[in-house]
Amino acid sequence: MFDGDVLTNKEAVWCWDYSLTDPKIASLYEKSIHGQWRAAESLDWSQAIDPAQVGRGIGGGMLSPGLTDRLSTQQRDSLMAGMGALTFSQLLHGEQGALMVSADLVRLLPSAEMKQAAASQANDEARHLDVFTRYIGRMGEIHPPSASLRRVLEKIVAHPMWLAQLVGMQIVVEGMALATFLDMRKAAACPLLHAMLDLVIKDEARHHAFGKIALRDHVGMLESDDRQALQAFALDLVRIFRDWGTEPEDMIASAYVMVGAGVDPTDMIAAVRQSALAGHPLDLSRGMRYAFMAFILPDLEQLGLISPGEAQAIRTTLPSSENELDALDRLREELVR
């Protein structure tokens, strides 16, 4: 049983017992040591990249040929590159969140091998900041975090319970990132991006495993009130992520990219709606659904942090193409005011 101060205290938690208490976590730490790589030397940054081609592969339904073919070549290339930079920017901000949480966890985790694993992850996340910043620099500008992502990161970083930080970052955010990177790698025609994602995915898979192992060992030891608080926190985060894309504020950054590319966002939104009515759904949330179905919900269920009924309710209410179109329509109304 854990002392309540150990669970919620933001003061540093010292561990004077250096005997091995969890071989699985110790093994992950050893793998991280052997799997270290350097951003500047492990990747060939001399390779040329085509920002428009990269953006087309990851920019979502608003970059389908039926919509972009009506633009000039300059507009199309600028829009694709901008959408790609916008997507990578959100990943970059998520990596900073992971860096901040993993560094904080070094102070808060109760065992020496858990502190080592968190310290190793902090090093990984710092390296990810490096590679994503470099790559976005080849694509365009770094965009601010979306409103939903910022809310999630702030809730995780500020939470007083280290188990909640593990759930938020290692299960929810890292689960979302791992699914995004795997999906992105399938579509990556850029050799540099493919090689970069290969390295990042190995790190992220290890981070995700660390969270699952640590939580599996400790959630079952919680008092009822602490367990209920952790379950409520997990469900709240899941709902915030699930609702991404259903409000105009989630789409506003895309409008800024369109303006920067010389494209009238109100015209583009109307074209997206027309394309959907013609049988070509928008489907901006494909990657999110993959993350929820393959990683986040199964992991939370296995850990006992979300009930099968709650997980099914989330599955049946994930954003649809119609939800996304409604959000774009409301954004268009705000833009023309």
- Taking the chain (337 residues) in runs of 10, the rounded mean pLDDT of each run is 44 86 90 91 94 82 69 90 92 94 93 94 96 95 89 89 93 90 88 96 93 91 92 91 72 86 85 72 68 91 93 81 69 70
The DSSP symbol for 244 reads T
Q: What is the C-alpha radius of gyration for the chain, rounded to an integer number of angstroms?
A: 21
Report the amino acid identity of residue 186. Answer: K
In a domain, 229, yes or no: yes
Distances (CA, A) of 333 to 18, 91, 104, 145, 259: 61, 29, 43, 23, 16
Q: For position 70, what pLDDT does the model report?
A: 80
pTM of the predicted protein model: 0.88
Residue 330 parent element (H or E): helix 321-335
In a domain, 248, yes or no: yes
H helices within 21-173, ranges in order?
23-34, 51-58, 65-68, 73-108, 112-139, 147-158, 162-166
CA 93, CA 101: separation in Å to the nearest integer? 13
Hey, is 140 helix, strand or coil?
coil
CB 68 within 8 A of CB 79: yes
User: What tokens does 221 get?
Assistant: 């030891």
Hey, is 84 helix, strand or coil?
helix
Q: For position 330, what pLDDT does the model report?
A: 75
In a domain, 40, yes or no: no
In a domain, 17, yes or no: no
Number of domains the chain is built from: 1
CB 234 within 8 A of CB 172: yes
In a domain, 9, yes or no: no
Distances (CA, A) of 250 to 102, 199, 245, 264, 300: 27, 30, 5, 18, 25
Q: Indicate which CATH number applies to the domain containing 183.
A: 1.10.620.20
CB 64 within 8 A of CB 280: yes
Domain around 105: 23-32+48-335
CA 137, CA 129: separation in Å to the nearest integer? 12
CB 309 within 8 A of CB 232: no
H helices within 243-320, ranges in order?
248-260, 265-277, 286-291, 297-302, 308-316
In a domain, 254, yes or no: yes
In a domain, 153, yes or no: yes
H helices within 140-166, ranges in order?
147-158, 162-166
Report the amino acid identity of residue 331. Answer: L
Residue 334 parent element (H or E): helix 321-335
CA 134, CA 247: separation in Å to the nearest integer? 31
User: What tokens does 245 get?
Assistant: 């894309």
Q: For position 273, what pLDDT does the model report?
A: 75
